[in-house]
């Protein structure tokens, strides 16, 4: 274990609900500042890049060899259960700038999975069972955060349509205008997932994170969790951030072009400026579910509790649900027909 209790020397673990480090042996709790003052936790400093790839790690507590892939920065010893923080994986250019600590716990992820049954009539009844959960992993996922500004001009064709009738003749007049907007739009902390392992649709769906709770990175926060280092470069990820913010800037320009029947953008002179980049670790619970020999992956935002994933559909329930709707619609049609029949005086 990387950190020992100052009172008794036993391992310290970060406790999400307390936002402190706790010793399970003597029940002592410590804040980050307290552990820094006691010399247990040191300030993080970026080092020169270590090009050595570490595939194995010897547990400091029991001596067992832990095998990790080249992107794993924090893992568990399979023998004694203690956290193995591979600090060499997060040094040099891989050293994060910021981190958001976990605020939700494993039980929250379990409860969110069980709550999926609400409002989902097509979900198989036996899917939402805790016994189907194969693994729940608290994981710090690497993200790039960008501050970007777009400056320039957006050009569009706007139309105004006017219609009127004279006698039996309908007239329509369409006026066309060239509409331009000069604008400067700034975006702060635009997130892009820095790992190829995780599906972008899932990572995008559990956003947003509250970036006001970003703290300076310290590897002590990894205690009890897994962590990955990025394998998508800052330059690669920026292309995604630039595309998203460009589209948002165009949408912002269009929204300001009011009073037209239609607006179609025909050109722009927008230029992007990258003002700042941060590399951060963000908290995510990954929930692996096995149902009828097929695996389903769910993710929970470890800060806000947002829970997303792909779910199966019960074919039997689809049939029952469809038949029920058809029966109800048929009953309504018959009822309306009888009412109309009665109001019309019945058969004559």
pLDDT means over runs of 10, the chain (348 residues): 74 84 84 86 57 51 54 54 59 82 91 78 70 82 95 96 91 94 96 83 85 91 82 93 96 93 95 96 89 84 89 59 73 82 64
Asked if residues 76 and 259 have their Cβ atoms less than 8 Å apart, the reply is: no
pLDDT of residue 207: 85
pLDDT of residue 223: 80
pLDDT of residue 74: 56
pLDDT of residue 53: 44
Q: Give the Cα separation of 203 and 283 in Å (integer).
A: 11
Q: Please write down the HEC assignment for all residues of the chain.
A: CCCECCCCCCEEEEECCCCEEEECCCCCEECHHHHHHCCCCCCCCCCCCCCCCCCEEECCCCCCEEECCCCEEEEECCCCCCEEECHHHHCHHHCCCEECCCCCCHHHHHHHHHHHHCCCCCCCCCCCCHHHEEEEEEEEEEEEEEEEEEEEEEEEEEEEEEEEEECCEEEEEEEEEEEEEEEEEEEEEEEEECCCCCCHHHHHHCCCCCHHHCEECCHHHHCCCEEECCCCCHHHHHHHHHHHHHHHHHHHHHHCCCCCCEEEEEEECCEEEEEEEEEEEEEEEEEEEEECCEEEEEEEECCCCCEEECCCCCHHHHHHHHHHHHHHHHHHHHHHHHHHHHHCCCCC
Measured at the CA of 140, the angle between CA 118 and CA 2, to 5 degrees, comes to 130
**Global pTM?**
0.71
pLDDT of residue 61: 63
Measured at the CA of 35, the angle between CA 143 and CA 281, to 5 degrees, comes to 5
């Amino acid at each position: 274990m990387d950190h020992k209790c100052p009172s008794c020397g036993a391992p310290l673990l970060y406790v999400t609900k307390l936002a402190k480090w706790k010793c399970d042996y003597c029940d002592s709790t410590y804040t980050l500042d307290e552990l820094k003052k006691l010399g247990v936790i040191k300030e993080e400093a970026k080092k020169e890049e270590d090009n050595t790839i570490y595939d194995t790690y010897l547990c400091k507590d029991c001596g067992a060899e832990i095998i990790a892939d080249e992107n794993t920065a924090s893992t568990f010893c399979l023998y004694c259960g203690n956290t193995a923080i591979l600090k060499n994986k997060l040094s040099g250019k891989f050293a994060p700038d910021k981190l958001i600590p976990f605020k939700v716990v494993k039980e929250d992820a379990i409860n969110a999975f069980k709550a999926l049954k609400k409002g989902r009539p097509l979900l198989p009844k036996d899917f939402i069972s805790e016994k189907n959960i194969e693994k729940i992993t608290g994981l710090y996922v690497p993200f790039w955060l960008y501050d970007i500004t777009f400056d320039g001009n957006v050009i569009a064709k706007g139309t105004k349509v006017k219609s009127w009738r004279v006698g039996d003749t309908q007239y329509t007049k369409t006026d066309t205008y060239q509409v331009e907007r000069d604008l400067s739009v700034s975006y702060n902390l635009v997130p892009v997932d820095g790992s190829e392992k995780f599906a972008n649709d899932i990572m995008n769906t559990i956003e947003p994170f509250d970036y006001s709770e970003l703290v300076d990175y310290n590897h002590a926060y990894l205690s009890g969790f897994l962590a990955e280092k990025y394998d998508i470069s800052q330059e690669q990820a920026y292309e995604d951030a630039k595309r998203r913010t460009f589209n948002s800037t165009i949408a912002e320009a269009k929204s300001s072009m009011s009073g037209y029947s239609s607006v179609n953008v025909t050109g722009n002179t927008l230029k992007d400026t990258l003002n700042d980049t941060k590399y951060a670790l963000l908290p995510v619970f990954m929930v692996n579910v096995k149902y009828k020999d097929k695996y389903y992956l769910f993710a929970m935002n470890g800060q806000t509790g947002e829970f997303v994933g792909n779910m199966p559909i019960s074919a039997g329930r689809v049939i029952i649900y469809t038949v029920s709707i058809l029966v109800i619609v048929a009953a309504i049609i018959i009822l309306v027909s009888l009412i109309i029949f009665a109001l019309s005086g019945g058969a004559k």
